[in-house]
Structure 1
Amino acid sequence: MIPLKTYQHSSTFLSSISKANPLHISLQPHTLSPPFPSSFLLTLKPSLSLSSNLRRVSEFGVPLCSSEQNEQQQQQDNRGVSPQLHDLSPNGAVYQKTLQLVECSMFAALTGLVYFLSNSLAIENYFSCFFSLPIVITSMRWGVDAGRKTLVATTILLLVLSGPVKALTYLLKHGIVGYTMGTLWRLGASWNLSIFLCTIVRSLGAVGFVLISSFLIRENILALITINIHASLTFVLTASGVNSIPSMNMIYTLFGILVLLNSGCFMFLLHLLYSVFLTRMGMKSSLRLPRWLEKAI
């Protein structure tokens, strides 16, 4: 009786499962034996839904991991894109730029110190011919850009050490002249063109210096100069027996001619001096000298 009841209960349970489950389960009473056989467990396959859920979870997890890896890789790329290797040899660009900057700084410091001491000791007239030389040297060695750097650095240094008046004086009388000469020599201009343009620049700088000095001392120095020239010329004409008084336009013209002659003679001597210096420094091949001077050197 007990096995029969067990069989009836098991068959009732299996029939209820077969009605609820769409899977067709063939029940054969003579093959089943309690407890549930292994064939019944295989036909049910309860792991389908679990495997599908696991597949969904795994598919959802893959892009998360890949996105994190991509973000990390992008951060590494943005943080340190493979560092560029620079050529640090003496012939490399980095070494040459560093050397250029060092030479410009040293020349600017030397020029500013010499100009400051010469003004303090009142010996500026003895060293005035050398104040433009560092700018010419840097322009010839490293290019026009290096000469401009030396000019700006020297002017700023003098502005800090001596004030705006001395800085403007150096800029008008020596700095712009040296930069013009270095640029023309770097471009291979002839001596005639170089002396002519440098003479005009020097003359304009001298007139600008006179105007700045007149503004600072509240006195028209240019008018005093022209008046003295007019008085001297009138005296010379009267002493020679010429009864005529020169006009002011003639005085201004004479004043401009004198300034140009003074500046021209100074620039010619400066060209000779700088040519000798640069030749002794081994830069003769970079210079365009006249034939008579090239033969003499």
Structure 2
Amino acid sequence: MYLLKIQPSLFGNFQTSPPLHRASPSHPTSFHSHLKPIPKLTSHNLHFSVFPLSNPNYAHSRVSKCRALSPVGKTENVGGDDNSPETDYLAEDGVVYKNTLRLVECSMFASVAGLAYFLSNSLAIENYFGCFFPLPIVITSLRWGIAAGRKTMVATALLLLILSGPVKALTYVLMHGFLGFTMGTLWRLRVNWGLSVLLCSLVRAMGSMGYVLISSFLIRENILALITINIHASLSFMLTATGINTVLSMDAIYTIFGTLLLLNCGCIVFLLHFIYALFLSKLGMKASLALPNWLENTI
């Protein structure tokens, strides 16, 4: 803090005058004779000086450049630095713009997938639209990365948890969520279709087994045992009808069951690959897909 002090030269050079004497009747003007006229204050003889209050060597602090805010919230530099990051705060290639767009798209796709699954279960039309439930996760994985696809799956599961309860949310994750996340991850990494179909079939098969186990727990019945018993009875009847008198072991029944499950899941996954490739190509995302030669030439 600085204080202003008017120098003594402001009023001229005052000299110590002799002590004033009381005017006597014989010297009526003795008091006025010792006074001098006060100089008039003008801008020429008015001088100011500043001095620090505590430390005379106090350094002046720099004043930072002021930044004004534009009406749309963009920060501009008054000093004229056009290459500063504040000037490109909301540019289309800026980090803030891309993060906001990613958040909006992931939220939109998660809400669409959750509401579509909820309405399909409510109207009992899940079998007709079930092939489109993993699609939002695949699109977000292709556009914004693997983490965005995972977040979309989690957001959809949380939405279904609120709307339909934990059973429907877990069913969506097992039957459609893991499949869409795996497919989107493999397509993002541009993996060959053969490996992609195989891995997605395994994920779909494990999700189906998890769904069977959860259903068995809820209804207090071993559905997997009922399936294997029915397969054993059907195969025994077919072998007996053809004249082959043999009894299949349970290991053979489990092997046949697993093979049929993988074959079913493989057909579904290959169909999803084909439908999603056509759909995303029409949306203009063909460059992000690693399509086989026969399909790329056809499209």
TM range (shorter): 0.7 to 0.9
Equivalent residue for 1:149? 151
**Which residue of 189, 198, 201 maps to 2:200?**
198
The alignment's C-alpha RMSD in Å is 2.6
Equivalent residue for 1:116? 118
CA contact (8 A) 2:193 2:291 kept: yes
One-letter code aligned to 1:150: T
Q: TM-score, structure 1 length as denominator?
A: 0.73
**Which residue of 252, 255, 258 maps to 1:253?**
255
One-letter code aligned to 1:62: S
Q: Does 2:282 align with 1:280? A: yes
Summarize deviations over 1:133-182 as a string: whole Å, max 9, x none: 01111111111111111111000000000000000100000001000000
Equivalent residue for 2:292? 290
Aligned partners of 1:286 and 1:61: how far apart in 2? 69
Equivalent residue for 1:140? 142
Structure 1 residue 91 displacement after superposition = 1.3
Q: Does 2:64 align with 1:62? A: no
Aligned partners of 2:225 and 2:195: how far apart in 1? 32
The 3-state SS of whatever aligns with 1:285 is: helix
**Which residue of 265, 273, 282 maps to 1:271?**
273
Aligned partners of 1:192 and 1:243: how far apart in 2? 39
The 3-state SS of whatever aligns with 1:243 is: coil
When residues 64 and 149 of structure 1 are mapped into structure 2, their CA distance, relative to the original with a 3 A threshold, is farther
One-letter code aligned to 2:185: T
Aligned partners of 1:60 and 1:94: how far apart in 2? 46
**Which residue of 87, 99, 102 maps to 2:101?**
99
Gaps of 5+ in 1: 1-34, 36-58, 74-81
Equivalent residue for 1:210? 212
Structure 1 residue 63 displacement after superposition = 3.8
Summarize deviations over 1:215-239 as a string: whole Å, max 9, x none: 1111100000000000101100111
Q: TM-score, structure 2 length as denominator?
A: 0.73
**Which residue of 186, 193, 218 maps to 2:188?**
186
When residues 152 and 65 of structure 1 are mapped into structure 2, their CA distance, relative to the original with a 3 A threshold, is farther
One-letter code aligned to 2:285: M
One-letter code aligned to 2:216: S
Aligned partners of 2:150 and 2:238: how far apart in 1? 46
When residues 94 and 169 of structure 1 are mapped into structure 2, their CA distance, relative to the original with a 3 A threshold, is same
The 3-state SS of whatever aligns with 2:54 is: helix
Equivalent residue for 1:220? 222
Aligned partners of 1:152 and 1:90: how far apart in 2? 28
Q: Does 2:154 align with 1:162? A: no
Aligned partners of 1:283 and 1:60: how far apart in 2? 69
Aligned partners of 1:65 and 1:271: how far apart in 2? 76
Gaps of 5+ in 2: 1-18, 20-50, 64-76, 78-83
Aligned partners of 2:274 and 2:225: how far apart in 1? 34
One-letter code aligned to 2:242: S
Structure 1 residue 87 displacement after superposition = 2.1
CA contact (8 A) 2:52 2:58 kept: no
CA contact (8 A) 2:134 2:179 kept: yes
Aligned partners of 2:181 and 2:251: how far apart in 1? 33
Aligned partners of 1:140 and 1:278: how far apart in 2? 10
When residues 60 and 133 of structure 1 are mapped into structure 2, their CA distance, relative to the original with a 3 A threshold, is closer
Equivalent residue for 1:128? 130
Structure 1 residue 97 displacement after superposition = 0.7
Say how many residue pairs are matched.
Answer: 233
Summarize deviations over 1:220-279 as a string: whole Å, max 9, x none: 000000000001011001111111110111101111001000000000000000000110
